[in-house]
Structure 1
Amino acid sequence: MADGKVSIPYGRFLGYRKGDDGLPEVVPEEAEVVRLIYRSFMEGLTAGKIAQMLMEKSITAPGGKEKWHSSTIESILTNEKYKGSALLQKKFTVDFLTKKVKINEGEVPQYFVEHSHPPIIDPEEFELVQAEISRRKAIGRIYSSSNIFSAKIVCSCCGGFFGSKVWHSTSKYRRVIWQCNHKFSNGEKCDTPHFYEDDIKKKFIEVCNRIAPDKADFIASCREIIVLLSDCTALDKKIEEQYAHLNGLATAMQNFIKENAMHPQSEDFYKEKMAEYGKLKTKGEEVLKDLQSKKVARLSRKELLEGLVHTLEENEILIDRFDEKLWRMMVEKVVVRTDGKLTFTLRNGMEVEV
């Protein structure tokens, strides 16, 4: 592992096989399935919906199985090997007699090998997916891929999301409305009104048609932000410094363990010292995770803006009916005011009130 030798469980790993040189080799048809999974996730589908889609398409799961599971999709979406890198020794054997395996939490060295084999997913796209996973986790159970308005519409009173409710579900007057999920919570009623889906769609059409005459300026503002977001030099430097800090801590801890093995300290002193290293390690990892999250958030927004620019260059903003793709790409959030007005915040930071 210290030499950077990558091993993949090929029999149950989608996208790669063992090449003639002993290194991972891309399986083209399986790689297309992996790319479909990543693309579908970024288009808004959940792991469960992706699994269902693959079974409907009669696509075989890893290991030749017919059934896809959400956990399989999640594993594919988070495995760094798909970007051509490998984190080695994630787990280690505690007892060679019982074959007991434990997740590595710093007890033994880990090795991260970049460019260890051909990537199936572009590294930047992989990081964007990790950012989207984090975003959905922060949203929690509210996130749903079944409706494009989910986690987009925000109440100006409490800051919570609007959710869908069905009125007259068993009659011909059945209607789907959107209202604040906390409208009647905590003994206080939010004063924001509810909306029918058609009303929201009409408001979005109005926003698009207001922007249409200044389409060139709108695209130009997006490009300016893309340039700013592309420069991650300062963040990269801080991330590099934090990695060096953590590596230094790991080395110091290993040296202390070796020294203690040769010249045993008191048990209390040893535990105190290891606890100190543990706290420093945890704090350092939190700082690193925060820095990485900030970088990924920048790249994610950059990627979204690039996609929006491409879409707007190929299509008109002036529309007479609701465009779902344009909604997904243009709208960051919609804040509902108590007077019924909607404030659309677009991907480039522009706000439009309708």
Structure 2
Amino acid sequence: MVQFEMKRRKEGGKCHSGANCFSSKIICGDCGNFYGSKVWHSTSKYRRTIWRCNHKFKGSDKCKTPHIDEANLKQLFLSAFNQLITNKEEIGENCKMLKKVLTDTAALEAEAVELQREIEVVTGLIRQCVEENAQRGQDQVEYLQRYKELVARYEKVRGRLEKNEELSCARKVKREQLDAFLDMVLRQDSILTEFDEGLWYAVIEKVTVDASGGIKYTFRDGTVITA
């Protein structure tokens, strides 16, 4: 699962940071890049942390999305989460449906077994091909053609197996995320009044800021609440 997450971050094409719970969670609605933290008035009593698109001033077209005060970001999260938990029963049913549709790996596991068997067969054929060529003289053009075809077949099956493993891992990760999300939601039996990092990590998928200043909190179950 760790390798899957590392691969996801790398393929995102954006600089990822885990220095803060908000790092790599807030997305600019203009350019799609992450927001980063900036400290204003660092040496005075007016010191505060704000979040702003990391690419706001990079390139000819400046992003129109505004900066967000970190304290305000936390307060808006509390408001969105408290709105979310007003209907726990519906959330529970939605999570069950999502797990059934998005996290089932039975078909993938069955396919993986077949692909692994095919890889073993092709590996045996490649070995046999090489041994036969070493033991007796053969037309090398024909030998190389057969060898290349077997290797191409192996690479094709191996690629399918790797894709299968990626999909299976993604579904397992999603299942873990939904379980953690639902556990946190059902555990909350009163209005949340203080920001909690553990809760944030468990329930938030991403936060998107648009040019008008609207902030959309996307939760793990797909629910989107605009603050």
Q: Specify the alignment match of 2:4 in structure 1.
A: 131
Deviation at 1:299, TM superposition (A): 1.0
**Partner-residue secondary structure (3-state), 1:352:** strand
Q: Number of paired residues? A: 227
Q: What does residue range 1-354 of structure 1 map to in structure 2 within 5 Å?
A: 128-139=1-12, 142-316=15-189, 318-354=191-227
1:94-121: CA deviation from partner (whole Å, max 9, x where unpaired):
xxxxxxxxxxxxxxxxxxxxxxxxxxxx
| RMSD value, Cα | 2.3
Contact 1:211–1:317 (CA<8 Å) still a contact in 2? no
Q: TM-score, normalised by structure 1?
A: 0.58
Deviation at 1:147, TM superposition (A): 0.6
Greater relative contact order, per chain length (Cα 8 Å cut-off, separation 6+): 2
Structure 1 Cα separation of the partners of residues 203 and 117 of structure 2: 39
Contact 1:139–1:151 (CA<8 Å) still a contact in 2? no
Structure 1 Cα separation of the partners of residues 14 and 32 of structure 2: 17
Structure 1 Cα separation of the partners of residues 180 and 28 of structure 2: 28
Structure 1 residues 274, 166: closer, same or farther in 2, change over 3 A? farther
Q: Which amino acid aligns with 1:306?
A: D
Contact 1:334–1:344 (CA<8 Å) still a contact in 2? yes
1:120-175: CA deviation from partner (whole Å, max 9, x where unpaired):
xxxxxxxx333233334435773333211111111111111112223334444333
Q: Which amino acid aligns with 1:232?
A: T
Q: Unaligned 5+ residue runs, structure 1?
A: 1-127
Structure 2 Cα separation of the partners of residues 272 and 333 of structure 1: 51
Q: Which amino acid aligns with 1:325?
A: G
Deviation at 1:295, TM superposition (A): 0.9
Contact 1:208–1:317 (CA<8 Å) still a contact in 2? no
Q: Specify the alignment match of 1:109 in structure 2.
A: none
Q: Unaligned 5+ residue runs, structure 2?
A: none
**Partner-residue secondary structure (3-state), 1:345:** strand
Q: TM-score, normalised by structure 2?
A: 0.88
Deviation at 1:353, TM superposition (A): 1.1
More displaced, 324-333 or 258-267?
258-267
Structure 2 Cα separation of the partners of residues 282 and 169 of structure 1: 56
Q: Which amino acid aligns with 1:132?
A: E
Structure 1 residues 252, 182: closer, same or farther in 2, change over 3 A? same
